[in-house]
Every structure is written in structure tokens, then in C-alpha cells.
Chains A and B, each alone.
Chain A
Amino acid sequence: MTYYLVNLLIYAAVDAMACLALNQQFGIAGVTNFGFIIFQAAGGYTAAILAMPPKSANGGFQSYIGGWNLPFPLPWIGATVAGGLIALPFTFLVGRRLRGDFAAVGLLVTAVLLNLLVTNYVPLFNGDAGLSLIPQPLQGEFNPLASGYKWGLTVVALLLCAAVYWFLRRITESPYGRSLRAMRDNDAVADSLGKNLLSLRTGMLVLGGAIAGLSGGVLVSYITTWSPAAWGYAETVVLFAAVIIGGAGNHRGAILGAILVPVGFEEATRYIPNSNSLPPNLIPSLQWVAIGLLIVLFLWFRPQGILPERKRVIPLPGLPAPRAGPPADGEKAAPAAPAISVRPRAAPPESPGPRPAVLEAVDIVRDFGGVRAVNDVSLAVRRGTLTGLIGPNGAGKSTLLAILAGTLRASSGTVIYQGQDITGMPAYRRARLGLVRTFQLASEFKRLTVLENLLTAVPSNRGDTLRGAIAGRRYWKGDETAAIARAQAVLSRFGLESLANSYAGDLSGGQRRLVEIMRALMAEPTMLLLDEPMAGVHPNLARRIGNELVALCQEGMTILMVEHELAIMDEFCDPVAVMAEGAVLAEGTMAQLRRRSEVVEAYLVG
């Protein structure tokens, strides 16, 4: 009985640690690490060769590197470090450039191949047979066969698991954790708001790898053997099944999943009578089939898992009780907006004379295959203007905007922002310099609340780094409170305060556009690049947005706005640039442009 319970609890602790780490990567940060098992394997082998005597021991029947005979707890520490370090070579797969599913395939293939290599290369870790007789912690001081020892090891494993849970929760519930969830929901948008995706993903690979390594170290210390059969690529799929079934994005769900899937399956099949009439492989094969079925069925019927990710409600001070339903678009006619500056960075507007250009595009060209989407465009946006960019479908407006924001690379040409050449600068760094964009398609972080969407964009929150998150709430609470106050001001300016704690994914189309604009403002921009901010928005609300944008420009902000609607351009934008077939046809006020035949023609014909 002792043996049974100890076995059950230690496996539960190890699997729960692994699932927590995988959930942090996959459920929280959206990094689909199909090679997860490599990290556990690395921890297992490292702990083994650190604890084991030189390979000549026991008659030299095994061959392996290392054999340092190190005392407890060094093997476990080594396992943790190894799991974290082995993540570093993979970071090139998870940068900005590679699609998530391709990166996942790369990691999966790596897992398959490393298993093949370790299986075949005997001198490393004794090949296919694997390592055995791995020393248990403190086995010189205590008797590992005594039940007291076994219970001691169990308690240590459970405590470690609890510590991992506490630690990951601390990170997830911080501003840094919010950035991770934002990246999960929409990485391109997180990038445009100044989040360094490569650094966030690297952090998660290393952190998750270290925890996986620790779990491997604890496991080998208990089972005293470790071989390639224990870490086939399919083991990763089991852990994914556990996280998906338990509830991706919820750490308690990950623990539940670990108990239900890897542990539960082992236990359930233990009670199937071992009949000789059954083929020897039948039960394990059917176990795998069942795990595959569970994955597919859960993703279809309950993709959020048994314990869904919980909503992070942040109470706002002085807010009246929420109304019964969300207000309709444009329901309230522009109330007197409180005069709260949302952008402390920008300089006051200049006095007369030609204003200096904030952003300049020089000879920008962009090719897609054989198509030239942007053809030799030069454009200057002057400080404090609400510049419109108009043109028929396919004129290259959105492409130009994406190049200015750094979402796309220019094939040739130069982008100059506040006198600095930023042509090769990635989007997140442009955002940090105050050049912030919005997107044409809905781009809210769906599984974050409206308030969280806004808070994500705040630059320089002390809690928005891994170190800050680990330092804890007390370290970043001041910044967070200030950010919430600012977000509340922006929300009330746009009349969306009552929806602060609704999921952004549940809002109407018009409200989502508002969230996007508010979020961009929270990034403390010097200049905004707006891609059709009023598309699909109720005309009343569109007018309201337009008025707010004009007010922002009067406060010193610079805006470049892509729009379809001539009426909106007429009302709010000055000057306006017209694009057609990849080139800028004309620039000027709308009144001037209407008199120019080629402009009218481009619109009517195009």
C-alpha cells in the first residue's frame, strides 16, 4: 500500500510539474512546444549522470558520459539548469518570422531525431538500454527501501510541485503574464504594441524547460532508470492532452489534467485483467488511441477544457454598478470628454510656419512575388496633423502603413521617424519610440478583458519583465495602479467604462474598434498609424471617433489614417494623400483634390 500510494503521488507530482510548465508555454504564452519531452529527458539524463559513479562502477556494464557522483541536491539543480539551457538553441524557431505551426513542426521533428540519436549513440547515455542504478537522493545516509524514506521523497516532490504552481501563478498574474497572454491571442498585434516576441518566447522556453528538467530529475531519482523509451515524441502529446483536457491557460486545470490523463490512464489500465487471449500490445495501443480521441473530442466539444481560464476582473474605483447590457454603438452622443491628456510624451503644437515632418517615407517600394504593391512612394506626415490616406481597394494603402509601422519590410526605400532612419527597425522597437499602429481587421486580444487590453499597451510597467514579475506584486503595484487610473481615464473619455471587465472578444464590431484605438493611445504614442479605424462602425460613433482624433491632434499628436470614406476625409483630415496602383497620385486638402481630374478618375474608375 505504501508503495502504491508513494508511486501514485510521485508520478502525480512529476506529471503536474510538467503539465504546469507546458501550460505556461502553450496555454498562457501560446508557444506550442511539440518538443517539450526533450526538456524533461535532458533533466532526467543530467540528474542521472551527475549522481552516478564513474562508468567503470558496477563492472562497467553501462557506458555514459559524466559520472560525477555528486551529492543531493546537486543532480536536481543540474537537471533544472540543463532543461533551461537546452531551450536556448531552439529560440531561433520561435522568433517573429516563423509561423507558429511551422515552429511546432520543427520542435516535433527535433524531439523525434534526438530520441533516435540517443537511442543509437551508446557512449552518451548507454543508448537504447538507457541508464539504470541511478542513485537516489541521500541514499548513503538513509535506507531508500524504508517507507519513511519513500514518504520523505514524496513530500519533497509534492512541495516542489506546489512551489512550481506558486511561482508560475506569480508570473502569470503579473503585467508580464498579461503580455504573454496578449501574445498568445494575437502575436502580430502584441509586436506592434512594443512587445518583444522573441524575448517573451525565449523566456517561456527557458523557464518551461527548466521546470521540465526539474521534473525529469525528480522522476529519475525515484524510478532510478531512464531510457529513450520513456520519452518518445508521443509522450509530449500525452502532456498536451492533459493540458487541453484540464483547461489550457488555467494552472489548476493543468494539475487536474495531469491527474486525469498521464496518471489516470496508468491507473485505469492497471485494473484491466491480464488475459492471455489478448495480443500483448493491445492495451497500450488502445491507450494511445484513447488519448488521440480525447484530444480531438475535447478540442471539438470543450476547447476551453474542464477548468477554463478564469477572467481577471480588475475593480475600477468609483464606477457605478454595471448596466444590464452593453450599450449599443453610438448610443450616447459625444458627452463632454474630460480633459485628460492621454499622451504625456508629445510636445505642444508648433507656432506658424511649415511644421516639421514626424514621419517620412522616401522612395518606398514593396513587391509581393511579381506584384508591385507599393511603387516608389514618398510621403511626409507633419507634426500635429491628421493626415488622411485614401484610395481605391488594392491601392497599397495598408501595405504602406504596414511598412511604416514595421509589420512589413520595404523591398527598398527609407523610413525616417523624428529624424532617425528606422527602415530596418522591428515593429516592437518602433512602438517603443512612440510610433504605434492599429489594424484593419479586428485585432483585440479576445481572451483579455477590455481593461486588460488597454493595460497591455502601457510601456515601462516595472512588472512587465520576467524579473519584475518574479519580484512580485509589491514591486510593480505602483506602476499598475497608475496604469489602471490612466486606462480608466481613457475608457471614460470614449464612454466604455462600463465594459471595462468584459472580454474584448464579446464586444460589438464598433466597440472593438474603439478598444483598439484606446489601446493604441495607452501606448503613449507620439504618432498613430490608423488602418480604417471607422470601418464597419455606426456613423454616429464614427463621427465621435473622428472628433476625438482631431482633439488629439490639437493636443500635439500626429496621426496618419487610412480611410475609404470620402465623407470622413472631408470632415476630419487635412491634408489628404491619394494612392492608386501603388503610387501617391496627389496630396492636398480635400477641396484641392476634388478639382484634380486624375484623382476623381482613380476613384471612379478604380
Chain B
Amino acid sequence: MALFLASVGFGLVTASVLAIAAVGFTLQFGVTDVLNLAYGAIMIAGAYVAYVVNQAGASVWVGLVAAVAVCSLGSVLVNSGVYAPFQRRGTSPITLVIVSLGMTLIIEFGVEAVAGGAGVSYTMSQGTTFHEGGLILTTVQLVIIALSLVIMAGVHALLRYTKLGKAMRATAANKTLARNCGIRTSRVITVTWALTGALCGLAGVVFAIDSGSFDPTATDIFLVLILAAVFLGGPGQAYGAMLGALVIGLATEVSAAFIPPDYKYVVAFVILLVMLGVRPTGLLGAPA
């Protein structure tokens, strides 16, 4: 029982990290139509930006802000320099996925070329450890959970109450129609890359904090979890990604209490394949 509760605590932290990443991924795909598999590589690039700042003597939280800025700008540039030109040319979605795999190699191994392949960690304090009702969480873990909740509330407010959010939803639903209604879709798409890129950088740093030590290929597996969360909720569905992140985060960590932890990702993998096979539009998406 103690083990179960402790794993629920871990699950909540993983779900928090995953929710930030998955919401960013799903909004990016929904609005821009790019299934950007380089998302994990950009995450890890962000983690390394924070690492450089951290090594220079600043707090990792300062590094986090730097990572958010760099990944946001980087995502906008990757889109305007690579994905958008391909899309303007009418490239098929599948070719775009291949392009994004190429970008994955460029970014991920570009980071490795600069930083080396060895694992690194941030210099930081984990803070006090709290034992509350069976959950065991450190200050840093609580901060991650709180941060994630704030982001989720922010995304909700953005989509629900702002003009930009409505424009994003309209663009996601039907680009041509949105344009004909006077929405400047190209600007909405650029802003979306900036926003989701920021979420990607944020997710990269909290992922690195949460895992303790990381190397340039660390997000290869985490991308599987992101995809599982996104497809569980339905690709393009922000609330679906939140739900998916909660389910996948808890499922992987709680199962790790009962099966060898090396296999915990199998649960996410099975969920992803079942969703792809049975209901590719996800739990919250319309049936095909």
C-alpha cells in the first residue's frame, strides 16, 4: 500500500511533466498540421540550454526561463525555415513526418555533437521531503505539479476566453474557412509555434529536473509517452492531451510498482497501439 501511494506520487509528477509536453504537442499538431516528431529533440535542446545557464552559476529556474525563450524562438524558426516552405509546396503529411524525423536527427545529434553523449544533471536542491497521506514528494516535485496546474489553467483560459485562443481553435478546425472569416491564419500559426515551442522548452527542463540525469537521447522514450497521451485524448485535442497525460503518467508509474521498472513504458505503448488500431481520433475526438 505504501509502495502504491508512493508510486501515485511519482505518477502525479510524471503526469504533470507529460501534460505540459502533450498539450504543447497536440496544439502544435492541431493548429499547424505538422506532426512534429522533432518535438522531443527540441525538448532536450531546451534542457541543455538550462544546463548551460545552470553551469554558469545561475539557478536552474533562471535556466528554465532561458530554455523557454530559446525553444519558442527555435520552434518558430524551424517552422518558417523548414516546415512552412514544405507545406506551401503542398507536401503530403507523410513526407512532412519524414522531414520532421530528419529534423530530429539534426537537432538531437547536433546537441550531442556540442554537449557530448554523457549524462549530466543540474546543480540544485530538491528541497524538503513531505510525507502527506502516504504520498512522498519533494518541494521541487510539488513545484512541478503546481507549475503544470498553472499551465493547464492558462491553456484553458487561452482557448476559452481569448480572441487568440478562439482563432487557434478555428484554424485547427478548418484553415480555409477560418481565413475566409477574416482570421489571419498565418499569424495564428506563427504564434502557435511560439507558444507550443515555449511549452516544449518548459517541458524539457521539468523533464530533466524530474529525471535527475539526462543525455541528448533521453527524450526518445519520453516522446513515446507524449504520443500515447496525445493519441489517447485525440490528436489536436488540448483537453484530451491533459486527460491522456494524467492516465499515462499514473499508469506508467503505478505499474512500475508491480512490474520491473524497465518495462513501465510498455503500458503506454500498448495504450497507444490500441488507440491507433481502434479509435485513432482518441477518447475526446469525434469517431471516424
Contacts and interface: CB of A to CB of B under 8 A. Distances in A.
Interface of A: 32, 34, 92-93, 97-106, 108-110, 112-113, 116-117, 120-121, 233-234, 237, 240-241, 244, 279-282, 285-289, 291-296, 299-300, 303, 368-369
A281 B286 contact: no
Contact of A296 (B35, B103, B272, B277): B103
Contact of B102 (A97, A106, A296): A296
B236 to A, nearest CB: 12
How big is chain B's contact interface, by range? 35 or more
Given A237-B105, A281-B113, A289-B105, A116 B94 contact: no
A240 to B, nearest CB: 6
Contacts of B108: 288
B86 interface: yes
B101 A299 contact: no
Given A101-B93, A109-B272, A92 B105 contact: no
B261 to A, nearest CB: 9
Given A234-B105, A291-B105, A299-B95, A112 B224 contact: yes
A98 B113 contact: no
Interface string B72-98: 000000000010011000010111111
Q: Which secondary structure dominates chain A's binding surface?
A: helix
Nearest to B111: A285
A29 B85 CA distance: 26
A99 B280 contact: yes
B44 to A, nearest CB: 13
B279 to A, nearest CB: 10
A250 B288 CA distance: 35
Interface stretch (B12-20, B241-249, B262-270): B262-270
B62 to A, nearest CB: 27
A295 B101 contact: yes
A295 B98 contact: yes
A299 B96 CA distance: 9
A100 B96 CA distance: 12
A237 B103 CA distance: 11
A106 B102 CA distance: 18
Interface string B223-257: 01001100100010000000000000000000000
Contacts, number: 131
Nearest to B97: A101
B109 A285 contact: yes
Nearest to B102: A295
A296 B82 contact: yes
Contact of A293 (B102, B224, B272): B102
Nearest to B230: A105
Q: Which 6 A-B pairs have the closest CB atoms?
A: A292-B105, A295-B102, A288-B109, A292-B106, A120-B262, A285-B113
25 contacts: A93-B277, A97-B280, A100-B93, A102-B235, A106-B277, A109-B227, A109-B269, A109-B272, A112-B221, A116-B221, A117-B263, A121-B263, A281-B116, A281-B117, A288-B105, A288-B108, A292-B102, A292-B105, A293-B106, A296-B82, A296-B102, A296-B106, A299-B86, A299-B91, A369-B286
B104 interface: yes
B112 interface: yes
Given A105-B227, A117-B266, A237 B102 contact: yes
B93 to A, nearest CB: 5
B276 interface: yes
Nearest to A238: B105
Q: Chain A CB within 10 Å — which of B82, B96, B113 has the most?
A: B113
Contacts of A103: 276
A301 B276 CA distance: 33
A102 B277 CA distance: 10
A104 B97 contact: yes
